[in-house]
Amino acid sequence: MRKLKNSELDRLSVDEYKEIVKTPITVVLDNIRSCNNIGSVFRTSDALLIEKVILCGITATPPNKDIHKTALDAEKSVPWEYSEETESAVQRLKENGYRVFAVEQVENSISLPDFIPGKDQKLALVFGNEVKGVQQSVVDICDGAIEIPQYGTKHSFNISVSAGIVLWDLVYKLRK
């Protein structure tokens, strides 16, 4: 077996990426502190053709050298916008026909393996702060919450890891 060269991977150009039909999922980042986490979410979003990232509150925005360090130019391909308040972003999404789910440990959450996205449904996922998670005021206005099953002694994943797990799972379910 031989490792493939980048030139053999048949990747889209940024212009091609901008024109292709996206996965109907928008990512909302609720007060993310780490630019490395933000960049990682951009990179994952690019890989999975996520339609947009909404950066909220204290979440840094491009151009930013620390975001770029992990995004590797994905911050230039994935559409993004900024909203000062996460609640406002969630309300706008709901008004535009999105079902909005917090990725959070809450009462009556839906376990990720059990969550089946609707084929013709626009979906938004809110990922929260590295320490405090998704704000309760945001959880209160979401349509529900998705929880990643965990089995060890720690009670959470890093936000970039959570985004990778949930986004990959939902894109896989939508494409099969």
User: Which pLDDT value is given to residue 155?
Assistant: 87
Is residue 6, in this structure, part of any structural domain at all? no
The whole-number pLDDT of residue 133 equals 97
The three-class DSSP label of residue 120 is coil
Please list, residue by residue across 42-73, b when 16 or more beta carbons sit within 10 angstroms of its beta carbon and e when fewer do. bbbbbebbbbbbbbbbebbebeeeebbebbee
Tell me what pLDDT residue 123 has: 98
Return the CATH number at 91.
Answer: 3.40.1280.10
Question: Around 112, how many Cα atoms within 13 Å sit in the side-chain half-sphere?
Answer: 20
Q: Is the residue at 4 inside a domain?
A: no
Average pLDDT per 10 consecutive residues for the chain, totaling 176 residues: 93 92 97 98 98 98 98 97 98 98 98 95 97 97 98 94 98 95
CA distance linking residue 110 with residue 142, whole number of Å: 13
Position 147 in a domain? yes
Cβ neighbours, 10 Å, residue 76: 16
| Assigned domain for 133 exists | yes
Q: Does residue 1 sit within a domain?
A: no
**H runs (alpha helix) in the chain:** 14-19, 35-47, 65-71, 74-77, 86-95, 136-139, 159-175
Sign of the CA dihedral running 105, 144, 38, 10: positive
pLDDT at 119: 86
In a domain, 7, yes or no: no
> Model-level pTM?
0.96
Q: How many domains does the chain have?
A: 1
Taking a C-beta distance cutoff of 8 angstroms, is the pair 62, 38 a contact? Answer: no
Residue 117 located in a structural domain: yes
Flag whether 110 is in a domain: yes
Q: Which domain holds residue 53?
A: 12-175
Antiparallel, parallel or unpaired: β 122-128 and 98-103? parallel
What is the number of other CB atoms lying within 10 angstroms of the CB of residue 20?
9
Which residues are 133's β-sheet partners?
A: 129
